[in-house]
Chains A and B, each alone.
Chain A
Amino acid sequence: MSLIIRCPICGKRSAYEFRYGGEDKGPRPDEDSLTPESWCDYVHMNQCVAGIQKEWWCHRDGCGLWFTIHRDTINNLEVQHPEAQS
């Protein structure tokens, strides 16, 4: 694996130091109107974008922070300014 991730605290580091936390799907659904189906959709239904995706990473072997980055899933590179790409 040769992904480089920019941690907001520690800077650019090898992806070996990080843990993937899935797509950024937004906050959990509201608990009051939650049904088993809507929860299941939230947990398991992913966009699986072929292209630039916003996702969570944790700098496990560093500062421990959870943060989001944009990554191009086609070439497995972090994208710093996704607005400029689209």
Chain B
Amino acid sequence: MNRLEKLPTLRINPAHPISFTYKNKTCQGVSGDTIATALYANGIRIFSRSLKYHRPRGLYSLDGESCNTFMEVDRIPNVCAETTRLRDGMTVNAQNVKGTPEFDLLGFLDKLDWAMPAGFYYRSLHKPAWIWPIALKQVRKAAGLGKIAPDFHIPGKYDEIYPQTDVCVIGGGAAGMSAALAAARQGLRVILLESRPWLGGFFDYRTVEYAGGVPLYRRARDLVQQLEQTPNVRIFTHTAMIGAYHHNLITAFQKGTETDHFDERYIEIQAQSIIVATGCIERPLLFENNERPGVIQIGCAHRLAYSFGVLPGKRAVFSVGHDLGIEAAIDLFDLGLEIPCLADIREDGQDAYLVARLAERNIPLLRGWIAVQAHGKTVKKATLSPIDGSQQRDIECDLLVASAGMTPVTAPLSLLQATLSFDDHTGFFLPIKLPPQVHAAGRLLGLTNSLSIEASGRLAGISAAADCGRQDVSKLNEAREELSRLPGPQRGSKLVTAPLKGRKTFICFDEDTTVKNIRQAIQMGFDEPELVKRFTAAGTGPGQGGIPGHNLPLFIAQTNSDGDVKTKATTVRAPLVPAFIATYAASKHDMCKRTPVHDMQEKAGGMMRRIGVWQRARYFSQDLSCREEIENVRNNVGMLDASTLGKFRIWGPDALKALQRMYVSDISRVCEGKIKYSAMCNEDGCIIDDGVIVKRAENDYYFTTSTGRAGSTVEWFRYHTRYDGWNFYMVNLTDVFGVINLAGPNALRVLEKVADTYLSNEALA
């Protein structure tokens, strides 16, 4: 498929092709592609089949809000194709499919939805009791996501880092970048997290004017350049936040590129102050077959063309609820997409400039219209209707760009314990109370004006700097004033649903939950969003509420006949984005110590084993009973490498006092140049260690401990003398000396050969 190669906004490099395998056929993508965009460019429209009904599903968004594009990649199931970079030689397959994604043998389940009302398995599959295990097996066979081979070991390199910072900014759009710059200019250390592989957010792919003739994408790249030139800003791209904990601890995971030393890494950031600038995602439009392949969101269509150089279709009907939809239609029309009409839920309030540009291109604008149905396995036709349902119009198309409005990404704020409340003007859940040292900025506050978005970022950055002790009152007031002069939050679009039963109108894609299911749950008395969520499973899939998160509470508040139900968001929990367990486990940094005679022992056939932090020879014979070895020590002589034992020197005026406290024996009875064996106890009187003590001089001793306790011995001595203020010094000599233990009847004879003095039991006594 041809790529649009001339666009200045492109994030791909068409000159660098990448080959991969899909369904055993070699396909071509280009450098910069995600798996999903490469497949889309190869004409793939059906990516997977849905969990319950095996309905065909395709590309809908590009940020992994649903599991539509979860695929099996190099035998790893449930890889999100939208957010995973394409790599050379990848093997990609569809999952939850009997046959092919295009012809799934279980596709008939879609017709059986009448038999599977909301919560049917809770209600019908437990009577009689013996039916459940049988039903369970069949359900497991038909439903679910990917399958993993029991013997599968995940390949790849995993890592972990624990950076500390003054300010952590979540979201690398215009607001986040402005915030990071503002905080960094106050001399603070800043960490900036961005889930996409590049910074820029909503600015990155748009060509409309920012100010003074500069297009938005150019402005975004300018901000990126400024950030890259600021040494106290550390940028993590392709890094999704997964959790927020007490005391502003943020966890995230990063996907690596070819040049990184890891494939994925876990990041735990300790920040003084946090700025959430996560922006918005789109709120799905609810209509019949609203999740058919060929129905895509505005940003998805726009970015496919402007970031990835893929014209998303030939003939597209638009059904939108905000100005970004009109802007996308104009941009895509200019690239050659045929647009028979653009339906806008709003009766009025469209940006006049955009409307004029639509008119220039002869694209009819249907105010107060909405898509009510999509037809075909992949979209062939769309039915549009005015909101009151008074008439219908069918339009042939191969793409239906649909979006009801914007919805703020508030999950990080919720995890940080911010209080959110539904706002009638924007239709958003907005933060009304933020915890100390947490700030919010940008589009998630309902701002749509580019200058306002940046100004709110700057204000947040300066406020966060104040949290870290860099109070700058004049700058703070300046930023406040600047923001107040700029346009505030824009009116959002209301929830509008097509006037239909909603049998195939999906509110949650991951769990195959329809509008009809929600109505059934409400009729059964589940009035709270939290209860409806649990009963219908809406929002419990891997997308973590990305698709239903906003529509569900709006729909319940609108549908509930009591009319007294407030619009309430459901609880958000970590992890916000699915991450491999391997990423949490990170790498096994197997660092060990080797004794001075390690190589010699290995040459002699020693089987090395890990003992604590050490590698130590366990035995030398092929015969596992080690009979020969043991008999030789008993009857002749044997040598043991005891270098791993803890070895310490303790000296100073109070050294003897400290030893007396730690050991069970009376150490004062050890004479100079003599050695004594003794044991240490814990406070309960249990023996925890043993070793020998040598008196070198007055208040100067050398002593040994077991291998395992060598690391904590100094800490142990200091702990038990912490109230006393005794004056003694300790040095850990464990790694300084090697130790050989000679044993057996001929030990003395061997020792005599290497010693330069006469040795006998009498002389040593």
**Residues on A close to B: CB < 8 A?**
2-4, 14, 16, 19, 21, 26-28, 43, 56, 58, 60, 64-66, 75-77
Contacts of B714 in A (CB 8 A): 64
- Over the window 479-492 of chain B, the binary record of Cβ atoms lying under 8 Å from chain A Cβ atoms (1 yes, 0 no) is 00000000000000
> Which interface residue of A43, A58, A77 has the most chain B CB atoms within 10 A?
A58
Q: Does B246 contact A (CB under 8 A)?
A: yes
Contacts of B723 in A (CB 8 A): 26-28
How close is A58's CB to chain B, nearest CB, in angstroms? 6
**Residues on B close to A: CB < 8 A?**
162, 164, 245-249, 270, 683-684, 714-715, 718-719, 722-724
- Which 8 residue pairs of A and B lie closest in terms of their CB atoms, listed nearest first? A2-B249, A27-B723, A2-B247, A43-B683, A66-B722, A2-B246, A2-B245, A66-B718
User: A21 touches which one: B162, B683, B719 (CB < 8 A)?
Assistant: B719
A sample of 14 inter-chain contacts (CB < 8 A) reads: A2-B245, A2-B270, A3-B247, A4-B270, A14-B164, A16-B162, A28-B723, A43-B684, A56-B719, A58-B715, A64-B715, A66-B715, A66-B719, A76-B247
> Contact: A58 with B718, CB < 8 Å?
yes
- With the chains together, A76 CA to B247 CA distance in Å? 9
- With the chains together, A28 CA to B719 CA distance in Å? 12
How close is A11's CB to chain B, nearest CB, in angstroms? 11
> Contact: A60 with B715, CB < 8 Å?
yes
**Other 8 A-B pairs with CB < 8 A, given A21-B719, A64-B714:** A4-B247, A14-B270, A16-B162, A43-B683, A58-B715, A58-B718, A65-B718, A76-B246
User: B722 touches which one: A16, A43, A56 (CB < 8 A)?
Assistant: A56
> Contact: B718 with A64, CB < 8 Å?
yes
User: B715 touches which one: A19, A43, A76 (CB < 8 A)?
Assistant: A19
Contacts of A26 in B (CB 8 A): 723
> Which interface residue of B270, B684, B718 has the most chain A CB atoms within 10 A?
B270
Contacts of A4 in B (CB 8 A): 247, 270
> Nearest residue in B to A25 (C-beta to C-beta)?
B723
Contacts across chains A and B counted by CB atoms under 8 Å: 40
Contacts of A60 in B (CB 8 A): 715
How close is B591's CB to chain A, nearest CB, in angstroms? 14
Contacts of A66 in B (CB 8 A): 715, 718-719, 722
> Which interface residue of B245, B718, B719, B722 has the most chain A CB atoms within 10 A?
B722
- With the chains together, A47 CA to B672 CA distance in Å? 45
> Nearest residue in B to A28 (C-beta to C-beta)?
B723
Contacts of B715 in A (CB 8 A): 19, 58, 60, 64, 66
How close is A52's CB to chain B, nearest CB, in angstroms? 16
Contacts of B162 in A (CB 8 A): 14, 16
Contacts of A19 in B (CB 8 A): 715
- With the chains together, A4 CA to B718 CA distance in Å? 22
How close is B613's CB to chain A, nearest CB, in angstroms? 14
> Nearest residue in A to B247 (C-beta to C-beta)?
A2
> Nearest residue in A to B721 (C-beta to C-beta)?
A66
> Nearest residue in A to B730 (C-beta to C-beta)?
A64
Contacts of A2 in B (CB 8 A): 245-249, 270
Contacts of B164 in A (CB 8 A): 14
- With the chains together, A62 CA to B246 CA distance in Å? 24
- With the chains together, A44 CA to B245 CA distance in Å? 32
Contacts of B245 in A (CB 8 A): 2
- With the chains together, A58 CA to B711 CA distance in Å? 14
> Which interface residue of B164, B247, B719 has the most chain A CB atoms within 10 A?
B247
> Nearest residue in B to A40 (C-beta to C-beta)?
B684
Contacts of B724 in A (CB 8 A): 27
Contacts of A28 in B (CB 8 A): 723
Contacts of A75 in B (CB 8 A): 246
How close is A9's CB to chain B, nearest CB, in angstroms? 13
How close is B163's CB to chain A, nearest CB, in angstroms? 10
- With the chains together, A14 CA to B249 CA distance in Å? 10
- With the chains together, A16 CA to B161 CA distance in Å? 13
Contacts of A77 in B (CB 8 A): 247
How close is B663's CB to chain A, nearest CB, in angstroms? 15
How close is A28's CB to chain B, nearest CB, in angstroms? 7
Contacts of B719 in A (CB 8 A): 21, 56, 58, 66
> Which interface residue of A2, A27, A58, A65 has the most chain B CB atoms within 10 A?
A2
Contacts of B248 in A (CB 8 A): 2
- With the chains together, A77 CA to B247 CA distance in Å? 8
- With the chains together, A12 CA to B38 CA distance in Å? 47
- With the chains together, A75 CA to B684 CA distance in Å? 31
- With the chains together, A78 CA to B343 CA distance in Å? 57
